[in-house]
Amino acid sequence: MDAESDRVLAEAWPNVSRFHWPVKCLQNPFNYGEGAYQLFYLFRANFAAALLHKGRSFWMVQQDTFWRENLLSLNLSSTDSDILFDRADGTMGTMIAGRS
């Protein structure tokens, strides 16, 4: 959603299509609990639902998640999963994003 991220992604993966959609009210920094934060999550959820409705594949990363492994080093071509979560514990238990 920002020009810097779009530029870095373009440099790292020049053959991957990107969609840069600047949303004016989300351009300034915001914190958890603020209206812009809630708007961002609503926008992201609606955008993901629209892509799925159109049958489009996409890759989305949670911006405030710390992954234990580099996503680029994972062999994602060997999975038939539709969605990938990083587990909140190291045992591959049922907790994802603080919920079980």
C-alpha to C-alpha distance for 56 and 70, rounded to whole angstroms: 25
Return the number of other C-beta atoms located less than 10 Å from residue 91's C-beta.
Answer: 8
Annotated domain spans of the chain: 3-78
pTM here is: 0.56
pLDDT by position in tens, the chain (length 100): 678 888 998 999 999 888 888 888 888 888 878 888 888 888 888 888 898 899 888 777 666 666 666 767 777 777 776 766 665 555 655 655 544 4
C-alpha atoms less than 13 angstroms from C-alpha of 11 in its C-beta half-sphere: 5
Q: Determine the Cα–Cα distance for residues 19 and 32; give it in Å rounded to an integer.
A: 25
> Which residues touch 96 (CB under 8 Å, ≥6 apart)?
85, 86, 87, 88
Confidence (pLDDT) at 43? 85
